[in-house]
Chain A
Amino acid sequence: MTKKQKKMLTRILAAAGGFVAVALLDHFGPALPAPYWPLYLIPYLIIGWDILWKALRNIAHGQVFDENFLMAIATVGALCIGEFPEAVFVMLFYQIGELFQAVAVGRSRRSIAALMDIRPDSANVEREGELLEVDPDEVEIGETIVIRPGERVPIDGVVLEGSSALNTAALTGESLPRDVAVGDDVISGCINLTGLLRVRTTKAFGESTVAKILDLVENSSTKKAKTEQFITRFARWYTPAVVIGALLLAVIPSLVTGEWAKWVEQALIFLVISCPCALVISVPLTFFGGIGGASRVGILVKGSNYLEALARAEVVVFDKTGTLTQGVFNVTATHPDQCDKARLLETAALAESYSTHPIARSLRDAYNREVDEGRIGNVAEIAGRGVKADIDGVTVYVGNDKLMEDIGVKWRPCHRVGTTVHVATGEAYLGHIVISDQVKPDAREAVAALKAAGVRKTVMLTGDSPAVGEAVGRELGLDEVHAGLLPADKVTQVEELLAGKSPKGALCFVGDGINDAPVLSRADVGVAMGALGSDAAIEAADVVLMDDKPSKLAKGVAIARKTLSIANQNIAFALGVKAVILLLGLLGKANMWAGAFADVGVMVIAVANATRTLKTSNDEKKGR
């Protein structure tokens, strides 16, 4: 609690104590010639003097319908009609509610702030042989900074010296540390865990990842969800409407029945519940919590409107390369014909050991052992065909179909999709190896999770050949695959899908941020993936998945849904309770205590409900 809040708590306790003492005296005290009721004014003033003062001051400023004014009128009115305990109680309850709200909001604000506390305080820069500690803003591009273990990387750069493991959890929600060595890029916001690093900066602080992310999160409040806008508009007419209602309620039934005290009391109850606080505070708090909870697991949402759209996701369109697949070529199958798998791979890897072709590299990666150069001789590349080499004194040919035709070996086609590499000696066919872009390990799970979350259609767009595209589509269980597309065709496809979806549903496009900016901006929600290192993605997208796991999208949808349902619960609950009390008031059946609950009690419950958006993401994290 802050100092201000502690002071308030003291006042509340003092007033509550006084109130109880006076109430006891009033009920059980000896009868005195003077009545006890003026004593109620003591706790009333202790708790309410600032409200009365603010109400007067705000009227002077032309601000009539604020909650101070309403509280002042309601309680002073209650005093006037002789409802002393009620007046004190309403004021007391109101202040307790305000205090609770301040504490709850302050707490969730701090927990989100702590979460986003990735701003580095200083950078250690090497200048003229000396190590200086400066503000990260003052470091220029190309300077050398030193990052000790335990420190946060202040600025994006390249490692000059040293190796270490970096904790990227603050950025990606990924707990596995990332190893870096000389020549690797380091990203600001990560924490250096083990070794001392010397880094040459490649960006200014303002352009670094950490600054961009902070900017994004801080600006997310400028884009409000429709639900929030509704609340703002609603609050604008709700208060005046209820106040006018109160006025009518005080006058009309009283003129008819002559029971002024009764109907004035009902009117005062109207005033007590006329503050839209429960909605105005809890709905934005819910969205703020949802955005905060999402960023905790590495999903950055640029505004609550996008969170809302994400919750309505009906069609999810994926880019293939780099989004659903790794964008790196790997050996996906070895089909030996006349030798064992290991021998086939070894032969191919040795023969290709001098080549710089990506296929050769993936063969060597799959072989993953030291190449004994003594075993290889007479290597010759055959352009557009493959390689010929002597391995352990035997001539082998490694290459495509055409190479096999050329040397007259009978080869077998492969049913697997990808690039097929055949291996043969002069006369015998040894087998083939298939190399392809691998599907990300969690891609299948991601598609299934989206389906389970109620996404109606999953689509993949790719520039790749239809054979490859359809194979990936089948493997992942996607509903539609459109292959062989140029970047412009992708926009057309998205346009078609947009036209085909229901008006309420949202279309979500997921790409890696490279070459798909037009599609990202055309979709209802553009999601960029693997933002570590790609500024373009952060700029173009509405939602950024910090690491490159497509399954995070399903998690994002789940968080969005949950946030929206909590917001709706709060709206329904707050409006429902207020409507009931207003109705009872119209019938002349409400009392002050119920009014105080409808105002403050509802707010307290709604705020507590809103803070759940933060809590769950915590638990999920523990559960992982």
Chain B
Amino acid sequence: MKKKFSIEVDCANCAQKMEDAVNKIQGVTATVSFMQQKLIVEADDERFEELMDQVVKACKRVEPDCEIQR
């Protein structure tokens, strides 16, 4: 399943780092668009919520200032 989330992130480099961090999670493919302030996550339907928790955690770790609206 592919889902879009609105995010708030201040710099392009940070968005890139978030994307790298999220893509390291097993079973998740993600794109962070700094331009659109969107996070697009593709993950397994059944484990989506659980994986999404990990995604948020990973993002917060590399960029504590980011906001992800779930």
Residues of A whose CB lies within 8 Å of any CB of B are 54, 57-58, 61-63, 66-67, 98, 101-102, 105, 109, 112, 218-219, 221-222, 232, 235, 275-277, 280-281, 284-285, 288
Contacts and interface: CB of A to CB of B under 8 A. Distances in A.
Contacts of B34: 105, 281, 284
Given A67-B13, A218-B4, A61 B62 contact: yes
A101 B34 CA distance: 12
Across the A-B interface, give the 9 residue pairs with the lowest CB-CB distance, nearest first. Answer: A221-B33, A281-B12, A288-B35, A222-B31, A280-B12, A280-B13, A61-B61, A63-B62, A109-B35
A221 B61 contact: no
Interface string B40-67: 1000000000000000000001101100
Nearest to A106: B37
A222 B35 CA distance: 12
Given A57-B64, A61-B61, A221 B36 contact: yes
Nearest to B8: A4
Contacts of B33: 221
Contact of B12 (A58, A66, A112, A284): A284
Contact of B16 (A61, A62, A218, A232): A232
Contacts, number: 62
Interface string B12-44: 111011000000000000010111111010000
Contacts of B12: 105, 277, 280-281, 284-285
A285 B35 contact: yes
Interface of chain B: mostly helix, strand, loop or mixed: mixed
A112 B38 CA distance: 14
Chain B interface size range: 20 to 34
A611 to B, nearest CB: 12
Contacts of B36: 109, 218, 221, 288
Given A109-B35, A221-B31, A232-B16, A98 B62 contact: no
B31 A105 contact: no
Nearest to A603: B12
Given A61-B61, A219-B40, A222-B40, A276 B35 contact: no
18 contacts: A61-B62, A63-B61, A66-B13, A66-B14, A67-B13, A109-B37, A112-B35, A218-B36, A221-B40, A222-B31, A222-B40, A277-B12, A277-B13, A281-B12, A281-B13, A284-B12, A284-B35, A285-B12
A11 to B, nearest CB: 15
A112 B13 CA distance: 21
